[in-house]
Homo-oligomer: A and B are copies of this chain.
Amino acid sequence: MNGAEAIIRTLIDNDVRVCFGNPGTSEMHFVAALDRFPEMHGVLCLFEGVATGAADGYGRMTGRPAATLLHLGPGLANGLANLHNARRAGTPVLTIVGEHAAGHLPLDSPLTSDIEALAGTVSGWVARPSDHAQLTEAVVAAIGSGGVATLIVGADLSWSDGARPAGPARPVSHARPAADPEAVTLLRSGRSVALLLDGDALTEAGLAAADRIAQATGATLFCPTWPARLRRGVGVAAVEPLAYRAEDVRSQLDGVRHVLSIGARPPVASFAYPGQDGRLLPPDVSFHELCDPASVAALADEIAPGVMHRTVPAGPVDLPRGALTADNWPFVIAAQLPENAIVCDEAITSGLRTLPVAFRTAPAHDVLGLVGLAIGQGLPLAAGAAIACPGRPVICLEADGSAMYTLSALWTHAREQLNVTTIILNNRAYAILRAELDRVGVPPAAGAPAGRGSAAMIDLTRPQLDFVALSNGMGVPATRAETTEELAAQFAAAVSQPGPHLIEAVLTDQPR
């Protein structure tokens, strides 16, 4: 068995059964080996950023890594932005990067570059095995690392015979953690506490436990603006997402004196602004971290024994009418959301104001957010989530500007016939930049054509992108909606049919 075959056998034995790939010559033995292992599902992506984003989506939904197969340094480079997002989301992803054979490397042939330097910026674990024994042990170690792991595999290791697969890693058993005594003391102190939830605390069970604590102590519950994965909707305990803008977060936290983090980092502004502090907790608010975020259930049993968690009730559905706007489309989609959907949210500015409100009372669903803020995540994430959960409908809420980064993910939606319905929120601008430019507040220079130069870098109307044509060009049937009624009818039709669909929702207002 050659090295490539031993890698695949080891992956399968460790329950890694999907590989999102965009291979090249140095990975051909891996590709050839796929013929011998039908248990490994090779998914072709037309760009590496699609492969890495799909692996992120797969990992978020299963808790297990998918493999990605990338071609040398430039292939990894193309996949880095979505690996950045995966790292920020804490997703397990196993990135396999093909490298030149050891004897070929010193020749500095055209595609040679410093793969370790690239990998190090996004990976918690990087290795370049130098023999077959190291190779398959490294596969097991990479999977066990639990985050973004990069394995650099020389073509000579892949093609040469005599490799042996490494067995499955021994399963790790987790004892149920005990309640954190400091957290118990804080919560019983009667002081004004906010719980900031992330990670496992945003599952249905985690939210239920947090809600019990909230009832027993008066604590308020918050989560990040765009968490990696959040259970949300009717029948689920509620949590309030922090706002995107720093000033709005400060209002949300007004009066809070203590923040108890359950798996969350201290909230900070995404960007700096002149004269503003990027830390969103005022200096007089103390930040406590639960030593083991998994102890939230034990904490609830200690603090709130016998308290039942509350859930969001179904509300009245009042469909908006008329032209589509950034504020009304979320209500159209939320009202018709299929049960137990997976929502990939890269709506950005088009979802800032009303999306959390509308989806709070939608049928229960998982939402996957843009933790790392590197745009171009949504369409690939949807592909990976759909492959991870073939029985569940996937809804991708995608802004026009960010869609263009990894648009060829649509081709993978079509090739794999994934149950993904994509809504392109087309406001025909980099609307977030328009808003940011306003905040910068530079007055136009005297005599200069006001705003000509800057508008050229933000406006997307010359020419207008036709997402129906783009989608059809990649094999995904598409329609265009300009009113809430059209969007409602088109969305209902799309989710009632198997396979991928795309709806271009043309928004008539410009969010500011």
A positions within 8 Å CB-CB of B = 21, 23-26, 28-29, 31-38, 40, 42-44, 46-47, 49, 73-75, 77-78, 80-81, 84, 88, 100-101, 103-104, 107-111, 113-114, 117-118, 120-122, 155-156, 159-160, 265, 268-272, 274, 278-279, 371-374, 376, 401, 404-405, 407-408, 411, 414-415, 432-433, 436-437, 439-440, 442, 444-445, 448-454, 456-458, 460, 462-470, 472-475
What residues on B are CB-neighbors of A100 within 8 Å?
A: 271-272
Given contacts A78-B49, A155-B272, contact A38 B463 (CB under 8 A): no
Of the listed residues A274, A473, A475, the one surrounded by the most CB atoms of chain B closer than 10 A to its CB is: A473
What residues on B are CB-neighbors of A31 within 8 Å?
A: 433, 437, 453-454, 457-458
Is B110 a contact of A28 with CB atoms below 8 Å?
A: no
Report the bound CA distance from A156 to B107 in whole Å. 43
What residues on B are CB-neighbors of A436 within 8 Å?
A: 25, 28
Is B47 a contact of A405 with CB atoms below 8 Å?
A: yes
**Min CB gap A98→B, angstroms:** 10
What residues on B are CB-neighbors of A33 within 8 Å?
A: 442
Given contacts A442-B29, A467-B473, A470-B470, contact A34 B272 (CB under 8 A): no
Contact among B35, B77, B121, B373 for A450, CB-based, below 8 A = B35
Question: Which of chain B's residues has its CB closest to A370's CB?
Answer: B110
Contact among B25, B442, B469 for A32, CB-based, below 8 A = B442
Contact among B25, B404, B470 for A47, CB-based, below 8 A = B404
Is B35 a contact of A433 with CB atoms below 8 Å?
A: no
Question: Which of chain B's residues has its CB closest to A113's CB?
Answer: B121
The 7 lowest CB-CB distance pairs between A and B, nearest first, are A463-B475, A34-B453, A469-B473, A74-B374, A104-B272, A470-B473, A101-B272
Is B107 a contact of A278 with CB atoms below 8 Å?
A: yes
Given contacts A23-B457, A122-B113, contact A107 B469 (CB under 8 A): no
Of the listed residues A78, A160, A474, the one surrounded by the most CB atoms of chain B closer than 10 A to its CB is: A78
Is B449 a contact of A38 with CB atoms below 8 Å?
A: yes
Question: Which of chain B's residues has its CB closest to A274's CB?
Answer: B159
Given contacts A110-B270, A463-B474, A473-B469, contact A38 B453 (CB under 8 A): yes
